């Protein structure tokens, strides 16, 4: 981790903890002040979301090939969540988890993170540690709750061949399975140093082909149907048109 990124990360994390404490105080206020408390809670929640985004962007700034990845994957994951599990979409911490999914990459050396060629076995093993690093970073943020599972498990696969724990099927937290699909879709439809972005229809064919192996089959079906059914202006709003 470079010194500047580490210092920025620590400063933002301290601020997040302050916001979390403030939120907990407000939630505990007596019912007679509910309207005031709710207004203050919304304001602090907005500030908390801004701090979470800043924390995530500290990480994203390290990776020269994934700029704007954060916003796109957040949009995709929230769109799919609203479609298949609206009760999760209403929980603020799920959005925080989506934004912070790759925060652990702040602990991966730049030479590995931004290597233009194929990673060695040793480098790949190091890269696969970023979900666990991310969990350790966000441990003090109690308001994330079980959304920490998004950070830990967003590289797990339906067939158990993912990492870091090799979880299979529904053993992985549902929002993590949602994000894994959104993350992969973005990777396929974005230019990379070693290949051009795939057309949307080809990416959807790949998702359909790997349903039941890489992806939760129900989520894969829902995503393909969702994207196929979008009007052009709706697709543009989700950043499909770049």
Domain boundaries defined on the chain? 65-237
pLDDT at 241: 47
| Choices 1.10.340.30, 1.10.10.60, 3.30.1330.30, 1.10.3210.10: CATH for 65-237 | 1.10.3210.10
Question: Is residue 105 among the annotated active site residues?
Answer: yes
Q: How high is the pLDDT of residue 65?
A: 54
Kindly name the residue from 62, 105, 118, 142 that is annotated as catalytic: 105
More confident residue, 118 or 57: 118
Least confident of 15-29, 33-47, 111-125, 211-225: 33-47
Q: What is the mean pLDDT of the chain?
A: 82
pLDDT band at 242; cut points 50, 70, 90: very low
Which pLDDT does position 39 carry in this prediction? 60
Contacts of residue 239, defined as CB under 8 A and 6 or more positions apart, other chains included, come to 68, 71, 72, 75
Contact 175, 150 (CB under 8 A): yes
pTM above 0.85, yes or no: no
Q: In sequence order, which residues have a C-beta less than 8 Å from that of residue 144 and are 6 or more positions away?
A: 93, 96, 97, 100, 138
CA distance 3 to 9: 10
Banded model confidence at residue 151, pLDDT cuts 50, 70, 90 = very high
Residues 6+ positions from 159 with CB-CB distance below 8 Å: 168, 212, 213, 214
What is d(CA 107, CA 6) in angstroms, rounded to the nearest whole number?
Answer: 9
């Amino acid at each position: 981790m470079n010194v500047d990124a580490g210092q920025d990360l620590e400063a933002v994390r301290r601020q997040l903890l302050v916001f979390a404490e403030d939120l907990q105080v407000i939630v505990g206020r007596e019912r007679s002040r509910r309207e005031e408390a709710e207004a203050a809670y919304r304001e602090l929640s907005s500030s908390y979301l801004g701090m979470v985004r800043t924390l995530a962007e500290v990480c994203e700034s390290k990776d020269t090939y994934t700029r704007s990845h954060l916003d796109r994957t957040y949009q995709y994951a929230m769109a799919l969540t609203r479609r298949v599990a609206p009760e999760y979409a209403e929980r603020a911490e799920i959005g925080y988890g989506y934004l912070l999914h790759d925060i652990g990459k702040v602990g991966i050396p730049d030479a590995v993170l931004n290597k233009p060629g194929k990673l060695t076995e040793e480098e790949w093993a190091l890269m696969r540690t970023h979900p666990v690093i991310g969990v350790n970073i966000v441990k003090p943020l109690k308001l994330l709750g079980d959304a920490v599972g998004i950070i830990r498990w967003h590289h797990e696969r339906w067939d158990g061949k993912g990492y870091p724990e090799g979880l299979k099927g529904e053993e992985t937290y549902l929002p993590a399975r949602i994000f894994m699909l959104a993350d992969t879709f973005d990777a396929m439809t974005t230019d990379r140093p070693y290949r051009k972005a795939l057309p949307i229809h080809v990416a959807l064919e790949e998702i359909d082909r790997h349903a039941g192996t890489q992806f939760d089959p129900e989520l894969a079906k829902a995503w393909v149907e969702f994207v196929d059914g979008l009007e052009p202006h709706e697709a543009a709003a989700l950043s499909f048109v770049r």
